[in-house]
């Protein structure tokens, strides 16, 4: 602890004294420290020479007939006052909230009772109207179910039409692929015998690959759809 820290601690701990007395006390101790340092002591040694600072403060306050523990008692009393005040505010808030909830509950019960009375006082025609609204709601549900079922039927019919169309395309495509394969074989034989039919052979080969690919695509598509349907049903 250096000189400045020592004087700051004393100033805070002696705040109960009057300002002039406190300043005189600090000035006197500052002079003592300077004198000790001039006599050859270091700053730390000069401060340590005063002894324990708590004991020093207690002696000074006792000389002024002041209880050294006054600050702790003052803080304790202030803390107790704050605690009591906070507790009172909490209890008051809790009571206010409880009263508010009770009032809201009573208002809700009154509104429900008023609603029941109004329902009982309604003319029969209004009751029939409400029953009719329930019937209309059921009718709408039936109509929605019928529309959904009709949509499913239309979807199934479209799927059947697509499958029929694919089969109708598959049959001539497979026939053309086989015919092109037969023609390619004939052209290949004639080409090997020396006939100039290289271009015709290439055309036949192209027909084989084209119609064959189309037929394979249709067959693969039908098989995949059939497999998906079986998985969904399972």
Nearest CA among 207, 215, 210, 213 for reference residue 166: 215
What is the pLDDT, as a whole number, of residue 11? 87
Is 199 within the bounds of a domain? Answer: yes
Q: Which of 45, 68, 91 is where one domain is finished?
A: 68
User: Do the domain assignments include residue 74?
Assistant: no
Which of 48, 68, 88 is the last residue in one of the domains? 68
Give the separation between CA 10 and CA 18, rounded to whole angstroms: 13
pLDDT digits (tens, 9 = 90+) for 108-127: 788 888 877 776 766 555 45
Task: Please give the structure tokens belonging to residue 130.
Answer: 């409400």
Please tell me which residue, 161 or 124, carries the higher pLDDT value.
Answer: 161
Q: Which domain holds residue 161?
A: 151-233
Which of 52, 68, 84 is a domain's end point?
A: 68
In the chain, the N- to C-terminal Cα span, in Å, equals 87
Inside any domain, residue 60:
yes
Lowest pLDDT segment from 6-10, 77-81, 107-111, 158-162 = 77-81
User: In which region does residue 178 sit, left (phi positive, over 0), alpha (psi from -120 to 50) or beta (all else)?
Assistant: alpha
pLDDT in tens, 42-93: 888 888 888 888 888 888 888 877 755 555 544 554 445 555 555 566 566 6
User: How many C-beta atoms lie closer than 10 Å to residue 88's C-beta?
Assistant: 10
Predicted local confidence at residue 181, as pLDDT: 86
DSSP states along 10-33: HHHHTTTS-HHHHHHHHHHHHHHH
Contacts 24+ apart (CB under 8 A), 52-58: 53/1, 53/6, 53/9, 53/10, 56/10, 57/10, 57/13, 57/14
Does residue 87 sit within a domain?
no
> Is 59 a member of any domain?
yes
| pLDDT recorded at residue 55 | 86
Residue 126: per-residue pLDDT = 47
Q: Residue 160 in 3-state DSSP?
A: helix
Number of domains in the chain: 2
């Amino acid at each position: 602890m250096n000189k400045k820290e020592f004087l700051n601690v004393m100033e805070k701990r002696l705040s109960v004294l009057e300002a002039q007395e406190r300043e005189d006390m600090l000035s006197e101790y500052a002079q003592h420290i300077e004198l000790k340092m001039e006599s050859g002591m270091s700053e730390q040694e000069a401060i340590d020479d005063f002894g324990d600072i708590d004991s020093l403060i207690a002696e000074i306050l006792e000389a002024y007939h002041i209880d050294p523990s006054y600050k702790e008692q003052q803080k304790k009393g202030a803390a107790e006052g704050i605690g009591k005040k906070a507790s009172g505010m909490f209890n008051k808030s809790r009571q206010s909230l409880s009263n508010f909830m009770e009032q809201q509950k009573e208002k809700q019960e009154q509104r429900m009772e008023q609603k029941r009375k109004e329902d009982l006082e309604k003319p029969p025609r209004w009751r029939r109207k409400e029953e009719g609204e329930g019937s209309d709601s059921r009718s709408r549900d039936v109509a929605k179910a019928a529309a959904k079922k009709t949509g499913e039927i239309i979807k199934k019919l479209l799927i059947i039409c697509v499958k029929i169309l694919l089969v109708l395309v598959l049959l001539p495509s497979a026939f053309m692929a086989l015919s092109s394969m037969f023609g390619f074989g004939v052209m290949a034989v004639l080409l090997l015998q020396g006939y100039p039919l290289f271009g015709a052979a290439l055309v036949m080969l192209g027909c084989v690959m084209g119609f064959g690919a189309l037929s394979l695509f249709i067959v693969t598509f039908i098989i995949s759809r059939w497999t998906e349907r079986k998985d969904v049903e399972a």
